[in-house]
Structure 1
Amino acid sequence: MNEQLVFQLCISVLIPIYSGLPGLWIAQIMRKTNSSFFYSVKNFEMTKNIGFYKRLRLDLFTYFVKNTFFRHCNTKIKITKKPSINEADQLLNEITISELCHLFGFIFVLIFQIGTLILDLYTMFFCSLLFNTIFNIYPIFLQECNKLRLRNFLKILQQ
């Protein structure tokens, strides 16, 4: 019984962690083929209210990402100097790719979670739900917040 529980916990952690890889490939293909879905996600705004993200405690999540080994995961999303409009648009593309990566990863894990419910593996379901939130939902919110901040910056640049 103990070995089975450890196995379920390991799978519940590993699936959400690696779920973004197929999403990354799909997002890159969508960008290279100029998919309309890619551009609709790029232009999508969940909310214009930065307070929404503060209520989710996204600042703690951002601190965690910046100060752990996760900072090495996507080094393309970084501003070191005042970017030009073209550089900011390129950064917006990278943010959109990251957002799609986590969105497809979330969907993949959601399908896995439905399977765990069908098989009555409730421990596996709740653990994968927790880790799907940490590794996919919060990064989606983080990228949405980054897009909002970058768009506000672009408005200032264009004036």
Structure 2
Amino acid sequence: MIFKYLSFSISIVFLSFIVGMIITALIRKTNFYNTTLSNLNFIKSEMINKIIGVGIIKWIVKNTFFKFLNPKLKFDRKMNISDVKNIRNEMTKSEIDHLFAFIFVILFVIATFYKQKYLLAFTILFVNLIMNLYPSLLQQQNKRRIGKLLSKFENRKQTN
């Protein structure tokens, strides 16, 4: 029974990826996206990220088939500042995709909980956390790191 719930949960989450991409594409040119959503930062502390296990998700993304899902997020040491800014924009898009996907699946969790199917609701929630919320937190962490790198570029540029 748990296998059935797990496979259903994974299916819903993969469907949510598409929903997240569609919603992001629809609002990407809006002021709300550019001012509010693109600057989200839920967890600013690297220590909290480490405690909750964002590093584990980072390892999974880097060392499994997930690394092939968004090839635009490849980072190379020989990149110039505009390449780094483009990667940051792609990370922002990916982060927002996952957040909308997370919200979409939460609606399923609420409906399932309301129907008193608690084990199924918990299973969907767990898979949603791992496959939508954690990748979004990972993108936020990476954006902070890129922000520091861009600051160094800007400081170097100002001193020259």
Q: Could you tell me how far apart the structure 2 residues matched to 1:20 and 1:96 are?
A: 15
Within the candidate set 17, 20, 43, 1:23 is matched to 20
Deviation for aligned residue 1:47: 4.2
- Say yes or no: does 1:118 pair with 2:114: yes
Q: Is the 8 A contact 1:38 1:96 kept in 2?
A: no
Residues 134-143 or 42-51, more deviating: 42-51
AA partner of residue 25 (structure 1): I
TM-score of the superposed pair, with normalisation by structure 1: 0.88
> What residue number does 1:37 align with?
32
Q: Is the 8 A contact 2:43 2:137 kept in 1?
A: no
Q: CA RMSD, aligned part only? A: 1.7
Q: Could you tell me how far apart the structure 2 residues matched to 1:119 and 1:8 are?
A: 15
Deviation for aligned residue 1:16: 1.5
Residue 115 and residue 95 in structure 1: after superposition, are their counterparts in 2 closer, same or farther (change >3 A)? same
Within the candidate set 12, 21, 46, 2:42 is matched to 46
TM-score of the superposed pair, with normalisation by structure 2: 0.87
- Provide the secondary structure at the position in 1 that maps to 2:73: coil
Q: Is the 8 A contact 1:42 1:96 kept in 2?
A: yes
Q: Give the length in aligned residue pairs.
A: 154
Residue 35 and residue 153 in structure 1: after superposition, are their counterparts in 2 closer, same or farther (change >3 A)? same
- Say yes or no: does 1:86 pair with 2:74: no
Unaligned runs of 5+ residues in structure 2 are 156-160
- Relative contact order: is structure 1 or structure 2 higher (C-alpha 8 Å, sep ≥ 6)? 1
- Say yes or no: does 1:10 pair with 2:7: yes
> What residue number does 2:61 align with?
65
Q: Could you tell me how far apart the structure 2 residues matched to 1:122 and 1:151 are?
A: 41
- Provide the secondary structure at the position in 1 that maps to 2:5: helix
Unaligned runs of 5+ residues in structure 1 are none
1:100-148 alpha-carbon deviations (Å, 9 max, x no partner): 1110111111000111012111121011011011101100110110110
